Amino acid sequence: MGKLKSKEYERLLEPLEEELVAMARWAQASGARILVLFEGRDTAGKGGAIRAVSERLNPRQCRVVALSKPTEREMTQWYFQRYVAHLPAAGEIVLFDRSWYNRAGVEKVMGYATAGQVDQFLDEAPAFEKMLVHDGILLFKYWLTTDQAQQEERLAERLNDPLKRWKLSPVDLAARGKYAAYTEARDTMLKATHSKLSPWTLVNFNDQKRGRLTLIRDLLDRLPETHIDPEPLDFPPLNGAALTETYAVLKPIKDFTGK
């Protein structure tokens, strides 16, 4: 199966975007709290998947959370504490670009957490998520999978593209040779934290476009019936002629060269 072409991807994405907008309308009307975790290796496609979910949604309702490394103060807190502040309230959708599972992945593999800290996390994470689900949060956990050859290709692309260079960090480069270690860490994490109450869903992201469509379709299918007709709005015609905007100080740019 070849990679999905952009035109076909856009055609298939459009009806899903309409369903995502309906999902947001339903969440707002019902007070549902939706929490989606996006996990995976570097370059797996988490950012693109999150944009595909959130692009058509109201940013005041749908928030993306991508936390930087913890501060010295945060490192002395309960591990889950800084994530709790970003959990959704009624009617909100929160998308985590990496989450508390950093501890079972990059922190373990790169030596940022001790073996004892990782073991404690794997023991506590199911209990933490059980509290979230029992309180009514709709929790979805996705792991985006990608082969090492695809990862290498994407890392090289980031290195050579000035518009993507910011995505490449020293940690990413240091992790290149630890593909097998990340696989082992992931499998250990899945075994400890996959449950009927809070399951993991693995999505093939070797073809990122196809992966996004698969993930969105799965997310929508696992929600309750979300169809709610939009509230009708009265849109009468304007009285009189439409006015033209005027300006004096700012003038149109003639062309991109500044001439």
Enumerate the domain spans of the chain.
Answer: 6-221
Q: Could you tell me if 44 and 146 are in contact, meaning their C-beta atoms sit under 8 angstroms apart?
A: yes
Least confident of 115-124, 175-184, 207-216: 175-184
Mean predicted confidence (pLDDT) in 88-114: 96
Structure tokens at 7: 């035109």
Q: How far is CA 243 from CA 221, 234, 250, in A?
A: 46, 21, 19
Q: Report the b/e string of 176-206 with b at 16+ CB within 10 A.
A: eeeeeebeebbebbeebbeeeebebeebebb
Bridge-partner residues for 204, per DSSP? Answer: 145
pLDDT in tens, 24-77: 999 999 999 999 999 999 899 999 999 999 999 999 999 999 999 999 999 999
Give the mean pLDDT of the chain: 92
| pTM of structure | 0.90
Q: What is the pLDDT of residue 257?
A: 61
CATH of region 6-221: 3.40.50.300
